[in-house]
Amino acid sequence: MPRVLSVFAETFPLHSPFRISRGTKTAAEVVTVMISEDGVIGRGEGVPYPRYGESVDSAIAVIEGLRSAIERGADRHEIMQSMPAGSARNAVDCALWDLELRQGGGDVAAALDLPVPLAPIVTAMTVGLDTAENMARAAAALAAAPLLKVKVDRRDPASLMRAVRAAAPKARMIVDPNESWTIDEVRDLQQLMIELKIDLLEQPLPADADCDLVGFRSAIPIAADEAVHVATDLDALPDGYGVVNIKLDKTGGLTAALELAAAARQRGLGVMTGCMICSSLSIAPAWAVAAKSDFVDLDGPLWLAEDRSGGVRGANGLLSPPQPGFWGGI
């Protein structure tokens, strides 16, 4: 039977609003790809991100533009050359991974030398941007989690960080300003972050201003998120960064994410695996990178009112893998 591509939008409402410095989300808007061949179906998901000039409609249009090539049998490496990095390529790449593994009777764990069976991993649990009082309340509810990710902006981040730390004194902590700080604020908040035992500061500066980090030696490791999408971006990365946050929706799929992880390690950089607000269909392929990462932030599906059937499960900051057969043989 010939290969057939299906691509469509899906919406997953959240159980509560997700707030960061750039705005608030109440639903995950995703693009789902299904590629069927000889009765076997591979699935993938992408989350278009306005920060990168993407929308659901534009992502679907990019995929439709490659329909003939995909249905003719283009493999992942051809897609890498034909589609730009981003959520559209992510959905197609991950669907092709799933299809290949199902056709071959294998699984991604064996293909990528991951532990079998896959064990639960510690994921950051996000405390969304809000008032100090509300963030403290949210942190208290998550205090048993080993790792928290705290969203802040320029409006008194010190008070927000203090409130969360007081409510969750034992948790490791990532602080994420989502590009809202200046280099002066990074400097001025160094001592406080040391006192609060912050483990990681994620993308504090706008990506187009990260040249301010050249030569900067932070007491808190700084992770590049918006500043790095694919492996070639590392060539221009300022030396003030010590960690790279890998998201499949930025790299354009698992294939490119694995390349970025290997390149980052070769440069002595730490690796973090992140995600957008998404369903478990985005998390399953990201697990292949997360299993060997220093930091993991894959709580996207835990914000959904209802996830896909058979997806990941979370409890007290531990994320359990999807049910067998959900994606890629895992």
Residues that are catalytic: 151, 247
Residue 319, phi then psi, degrees to nearest 5: -105, 120
CA-nearest of 124, 122, 201, 121 to 161 is 201
Are 133 and 163 spatial neighbours (Cβ–Cβ below 8 Å)?
A: yes
Torsion over CA: 175, 181, 184, 188 (sign): negative
Contact 28, 47 (CB under 8 A): yes
Q: Cα separation of 327 and 65, whole Å? A: 25
Tell the burial category of 115 from Cβ atoms under 10 Å away from its Cβ (0-12, 13-18, 19+).
exposed
- Rounded CA-CA distance 23/227 in Å is 19
Q: How many CB atoms lie within 10 A of CB 77?
A: 11
Q: What is the DSSP string of 42-93?
A: EEEEE---GGGT--HHHHHHHHHHTHHHHHHT--HHHHHHHS-SSHHHHHHH
- By C-alpha distance, which of 254, 250, 230 is closest to 95? 254
